[in-house]
Structure 1
Amino acid sequence: MPVLTYIGSAAATVSICFLLIGIGSAKVRNAGITALVSLTVSHIIVEIVKRNVCRKRPKDMLEEINVFNVPIDLYSFPSGHSTAIFSIAVTVSLYMPLLAFLVLPAALMVGLSRVYLGVHYLSDVIAGMVLATATSVLFYCI
């Protein structure tokens, strides 16, 4: 789970976007650019919401949770990792629907890894998914 959760990190998600931009057809590049824009905008929203909601993480409420030294910031809501990976997965699914059956379950697993590791509540992950879906659809339509 600690390895899986890393796929939703800033380093991994930004790298995925640049990889998409750097390879393939115009459609793949457009997907990468849209994913990067969605990722950036959704991350700004995540940081604003986190600083206003100030929800403590499960590991701060329950002493026995082992977070496996996963790096985290102070607040829990919404999940930044879930938002990040869903920004990419939803965008890729919109541009290349045949990949949806691969990228969406993978993104869901990243979100669930956050809950498993005790660094997020399920509602944090769901909020990240909704936020990412909204920004991805918005920028896809634009």
Structure 2
Amino acid sequence: MNAFGRADTHIFRWIFGVTAGRDCRIIKYISKSGDGHVYLILGVLLCAFDPKDGTIFLYTSLLAYALELPIYVILKKLFKRQRPCDLIYNFRSHITPSDKFSLPSGHTAAAFLMASLLAHFYPSVAILVYIWASLIGLSRVMLGVHYPSDIVAGALLGITISMLSLSILV
């Protein structure tokens, strides 16, 4: 294993160690707040209650996720990075991963994509939504299904796709 991989694994073990032997209910809820249906509900609600900005927000979000999802799948299949629970001997994550590979983190990509769009259309919530997206990424490491570099890659993917979508539609 190269120096980067060793450092990534070391940081992973340190962060995951915080949750070892503990109830992870709150961390699981934070992670679940990054599930896709939450974003759709938010987009529809913003469209309904803020017809001016909410409508373009919804269209931009739909375009962004239409671009992000296939890129995410291609990257997962291209890198084929094993998850910590599949690679680290005698290790058990707190949850069962949704797919086989870990790079990039899809939850983190989606969270940062949404945070970037929300910050663009509603600047007053920027700090809050970026903290929320960061907590989703951190929760994925704390639950044992991603390495820290997976989170960074997911965040970069989400921000990049949101900026691309904004440049197309806004």
- TM-score normalized by structure 1? 0.90
* Matched residue, 1:13: 39
1-side partners of 2:82 and 2:148: how far apart?
13
* Matched residue, 1:84: 110
Matches within 5 A, 1:96-135: 96-135=122-161
Q: What do residues 37-81 of structure 1 show as CA deviations (whole Å, max 9, x unaligned)? A: 2122111100011011111001112333332x3441111010111
* Matched residue, 1:66: 93
Runs of 4+ with >6 A deviation? none
Amino acid at match of 2:151: V
1-side partners of 2:146 and 2:93: how far apart?
13
Unaligned runs of 5+ in 2: 1-26
Q: What do residues 2-61 of structure 1 show as CA deviations (whole Å, max 9, x unaligned)? A: 111011122223333333333323112212221222122111100011011111001112
Q: Is the 8 A contact 2:63 2:165 kept in 1?
A: yes
* Matched residue, 1:55: 81
* Matched residue, 1:23: 49
- TM-score normalized by structure 2? 0.76
* Number of aligned positions between the proteins: 141
* Matched residue, 1:33: 59
1-side partners of 2:93 and 2:79: how far apart?
24
Q: Is the 8 A contact 1:56 1:75 kept in 2?
A: yes
SS in 2 for 1:119: coil
2-side partners of 1:36 and 1:20: how far apart?
13
Answer with 1 or 2: which has the greater Rg.
Answer: 2
Q: Is the 8 A contact 2:82 2:100 kept in 1?
A: yes
Q: Is the 8 A contact 1:21 1:33 kept in 2?
A: no
2-side partners of 1:30 and 1:128: how far apart?
24
CA pair 38-47 structure 1, distance change in 2 beyond 3 A: same
- 1:139 is the counterpart of 2:165: yes
